[in-house]
Structure 1
Amino acid sequence: MSGIDLATRVDIQDFYAIEAELLDERRWEEWVDLFGPEVEYTAPIRVTRKSGSPDIVEEIGHFDDTKSSLVFRAKRLRTDVAWAEDPPSHTRRLITNLRIKHGEREGELAARTNFLLYRSRGDMGAYDLIVGERQDTLRRTEEGWLISSRRIIIDQSSMSTKNLGVFL
């Protein structure tokens, strides 16, 4: 067992449900407030290799953001130059399979969740499904939980989506 009490587990589940709601409702500025100032938000590339070889390439990625770049990206989505999201995507995030354990430092938790992102754009009936795992370090503050780091492992090595203009 993880040694995490039930109240904390429920609190973290609620935290992730609220995070998904903020993103699906395009409340990006509020979503960015869930991240600590030191945040590292990364999504390395997955590749297909023979057994025994690593299938994650850490040196390059879909995302490699800091708090300031997340703030910039969130603000940019409100402008008329965010072409990848104009018209905006309709999204629904399902966050499941929460696993929590104590983090490396006092007051931190290591959380892993699986996600499914449904994304549609326009009215042609086409949609994207993006699936993966998020590996977070959460830090408790006086205001609540903050995400100190997020590593996103996308299950697809070849994604059919035309762009990744949305947050995962």
Structure 2
Amino acid sequence: MTTDLQAVCAFLYREARHLDDREWEPWLALYAPDAEYWMPAWDDDDQLTEDPQSEISLIYYPDRNGLEDRVFRIKTERSSASMPEPRTNHMLTNIEVLAERDDAVDVRYNFHTLSHRYKITDHFFGTVYVTLRRHGDSFLIGRKKIVLKNDYIRQVIDVYHI
């Protein structure tokens, strides 16, 4: 089955829009219940950590429950790291299908996010590897691995930054 790249792009753009517009429930709805969400860290040898269970990660949620908890804390102002919520602008580029299976498609893309808070604008950029599972006439995110390429982060990084 050949995946329509335009449909993949539309899905990824919708996810970015939900983050920019702080539409948390529709954003969560794009994730499968068992979706893994992982941002490995860079180690002292400039290599990405490989195992979120035994090595440091910038963000790791083994399933959507972790994302739901994160959104709950953001929405109920129980996250001092998110108060006030930053204004973000996500840009996606170089979206390409890496592999296809009957039920899923593996996609790679680059991102650049601007995040404005306290009169300061930060830049976050990197590459995302995502597995999209076919779900009706659209997709659900089954796995998302974010490779943040910034070499210095001066604040807490959160799901809306990437």
TM-score between both structures, scaled by the size of structure 1: 0.86
Bigger Rg over Cα: 1
**Alpha-carbon distance, 1:44 to partner:** 0.3
Question: Is 1:68 matched up with 2:62?
Answer: no
Find the aligned partners of 1:4 and 1:48 in 2 and give their Cα distance: 41
Runs of 4+ more than 3 Å apart: none
**Alpha-carbon distance, 1:4 to partner:** 4.3
- 1:117 aligned partner: 113
Find the aligned partners of 2:10 and 2:157 in 1 and give their Cα distance: 26
Q: State whether residues 28 and 68 of structure 2, in contact with CA within 8 Å, keep that contact through their aligned partners in structure 1.
A: yes
**Alpha-carbon distance, 1:92 to partner:** 0.3
- 1:145 aligned partner: 139
Structure 1 residue aligned with 2:103, among 94, 101, 107? Answer: 107
> Identity, % of aligned pairs?
26
Q: State whether residues 48 and 157 of structure 1, in contact with CA within 8 Å, keep that contact through their aligned partners in structure 2.
A: no
Any residues of structure 2 matched to 1:49-88 within 5 Å, and which? 49=45, 55-58=47-50, 59-65=55-61, 66-88=63-85
- 2:151 aligned partner: 157
Q: Could you list the per-position Cα deviations for residues 116-137 of structure 1 after superposition, in whole angstroms to 9, with x for gaps in the alignment?
A: 0100102x3x111010011001
Unaligned runs of 5+ in 2: none
TM-score between both structures, scaled by the size of structure 2: 0.89
Q: Provide the aligned C-alpha RMSD in A.
A: 1.7
Unaligned runs of 5+ in 1: none
Paired positions, count: 156
**Alpha-carbon distance, 1:80 to partner:** 2.4
Q: State whether residues 100 and 111 of structure 1, in contact with CA within 8 Å, keep that contact through their aligned partners in structure 2.
A: yes
Amino acid at match of 1:137: T
Question: Is 1:134 matched up with 2:125?
Answer: no
**Alpha-carbon distance, 1:46 to partner:** 1.7
Q: Could you list the per-position Cα deviations for residues 87-135 of structure 1 after superposition, in whole angstroms to 9, with x for gaps in the alignment?
A: 11000000110010333x422100001000100102x3x1110100110
Find the aligned partners of 1:93 and 1:14 in 2 and give their Cα distance: 14
